[in-house]
Chain A
């Protein structure tokens, strides 16, 4: 069998079997030259700014009465006043203290229980079932019981936050411990690590990503629990400011408090992100830069 060649280019190239017709060429334009030059952050902020402008417009034209919702300008002014007279920082301090106390206790209880049931089989048998049962009780529903037990001071508020924080933390740390790669544990064994060495060098670091997820959930729930706890029999804190404002139909103060809650939530998220940046820097999947 002979090898078929394309005929020499000089001689009738159009009858060669492969060049039936010239293909229709299309230029591929680089994406950068097509995109508009508006920076991303500017595009991202346009939406919220437009929304604020619309809100202000509706307020000034009277379409949105202040009894329903105060205007952004007024809210900013009220916020300034509340900071100036010290009522807002004082309330924030009280609320932060409650959250800090509840989160700290919840961290201790949640991770403590997770370690017991994650590391020891007997611990799992004793701890896991009751925790899984208690977890299904909506913790907010326990407020009346807590008031009976702890009165109406700080204790029931901290207790509610503790309860809200404990469960997500427990679940994630426990799952993190149990999800550690068995191959790595085996490798640790083959390297001659003791039982405690395995826990310290393999199990706990391996459970850390799960623990961070748990912490993030926990902090989210902590603010939620704070809102509930502070609207019951509070005489200080942001929730108290809101209840007071409700009685006087002060929508501006209510919105200021909501903004503060949102701000504190962002702050908590920032803290978790920073922690992750330090503790989970070994993960190449990390993208929170």
Chain B
């Protein structure tokens, strides 16, 4: 996906410059700069409270108390940590919620098929398992055919096995759709596994940037993978253990 098609003017899926967001006079995001190319998969790491979720909410258009320039695609979609499905709407209605016009049920079914949830279109959201609900939430985001997909720790609440499957699914969907993705996470391994570029956020700015040039699909046991992971962990203030350094 990350082919060099940018010639004179670099097309951008996200352009943020001089962004500041304060809560009660305390700047959580402080003069931040961020560019994401179309089709690029960017992971945003950071300790809790570093402002990464705030940044995602701003990009999603949910927080407008801001100063600075923020350019985002008109067509964007968000998947949150909690699936946030409307419990009173069946899964397929949840998927279509907010789409302009009167979309057919088949549209929802197609999106649900794509995330492997075609058999639960008629279910009530509360009867879904955690992984299923998260996939429904992904389908709801994808059906909007976004140019930018914002993922706010979407795997955080899943159990380890379900998380691996969900991560793979997101990787596949991204490769198929070709949309830009901004993944907010605190899982370094997940970031290195999925992203073209990993950003580390600290004290309201992007403090560190790391390109991940490993071939896909990536192998966690690859020593280069481990090295990138250890480097990023160090950036986040976690020293590598002796076993990892070896």
Q: Do A and B come from one complex?
A: yes
Which one, B1-9, B35-43, B84-92, B172-180, is touching chain A?
B84-92
A183-B88 CB under 8 A given contacts A189-B62, A282-B124, A282-B126 = no
Name the residue on B nearest A191 (C-beta). B98
A188-B80 CB under 8 A given contacts A201-B86, A208-B88 = no
Name the residue on B nearest A208 (C-beta). B88
Main secondary structure of the interface of A (DSSP, over half): helix
* Cβ contact within 8 Å between B97 and A193: yes
Name the residue on A nearest B95 (C-beta). A191
* CB contact list, A194-244 vs B, under 8 A: 197, 201-202, 205-206, 208
| Nearest CB in chain B: distance from A260 CB, A | 37
- Note all chain B residues with C-beta closer than 8 A to A26: none
* Cβ contact within 8 Å between B62 and A191: no
A183-B82 CB under 8 A given contacts A191-B97, A193-B97, A282-B87 = yes
| Nearest CB in chain B: distance from A23 CB, A | 36
- Note all chain A residues with C-beta closer than 8 A to B140: 191
Q: Report the Cα distance A184→B82, complex, angstroms.
A: 10
| Cβ of A138 under 8 Å from chain B | no
Most chain B C-beta atoms within 10 Å of own C-beta, residue among A205, A206, A282: A282
| Nearest CB in chain A: distance from B21 CB, A | 16
Contact pattern, A 253-289, Cβ under 8 Å of B = 1, otherwise 0: 0000000000000000000000000000111100000
* Cβ contact within 8 Å between A183 and B80: yes
- Note all chain A residues with C-beta closer than 8 A to B11: none
| Cβ of B78 under 8 Å from chain A | yes
A201-B89 CB under 8 A given contacts A188-B98, A282-B126 = yes
| Nearest CB in chain B: distance from A181 CB, A | 8
For chain B, give the interface size range: 20 to 34
Main secondary structure of the interface of B (DSSP, over half): loop
* Cβ contact within 8 Å between A205 and B78: no
Name the residue on B nearest A181 (C-beta). B84
| Cβ of A8 under 8 Å from chain B | no
* Cβ contact within 8 Å between B98 and A193: yes
For chain A, give the interface size range: 20 to 34
Q: Report the Cα distance A66→B56, complex, angstroms.
A: 78
A284-B62 CB under 8 A given contacts A184-B86, A192-B98 = no
* Cβ contact within 8 Å between B62 and A190: yes
| Cβ of A187 under 8 Å from chain B | yes
| Nearest CB in chain B: distance from A213 CB, A | 16
A284-B97 CB under 8 A given contacts A183-B82, A208-B88 = no
Contact pattern, B 77-119, Cβ under 8 Å of A = 1, otherwise 0: 1101010101111000000011110000000000000000000
Q: Report the Cα distance A81→B125, complex, angstroms.
A: 54
* CB contact list, B99-151 vs A, under 8 A: 99-100, 124-127, 140, 144
| Cβ of A186 under 8 Å from chain B | yes
Name the residue on B nearest A209 (C-beta). B88
Q: Report the Cα distance A136→B184, complex, angstroms.
A: 50
| Cβ of B60 under 8 Å from chain A | yes
A201-B97 CB under 8 A given contacts A190-B60, A191-B140, A282-B126 = yes
| Nearest CB in chain B: distance from A209 CB, A | 9
* Cβ contact within 8 Å between A206 and B88: yes
| Nearest CB in chain B: distance from A147 CB, A | 44
* Cβ contact within 8 Å between A190 and B82: no
- Note all chain B residues with C-beta closer than 8 A to A193: 97-98
| Nearest CB in chain B: distance from A184 CB, A | 6
Most chain A C-beta atoms within 10 Å of own C-beta, residue among B98, B125, B126: B98
Most chain A C-beta atoms within 10 Å of own C-beta, residue among B77, B80, B87, B126: B87
| Cβ of B223 under 8 Å from chain A | no
What are the 5 A-B residue pairs with the smallest beta carbon separation, nearest first? A191-B98, A187-B84, A205-B88, A190-B78, A192-B98
Q: List 22 A-B contacts (CB under 8 A).
A: A183-B82, A186-B62, A187-B78, A187-B80, A187-B86, A188-B86, A188-B98, A190-B60, A192-B98, A192-B144, A193-B97, A201-B86, A201-B97, A205-B88, A205-B89, A206-B88, A208-B88, A281-B124, A282-B88, A282-B126, A284-B124, A284-B126
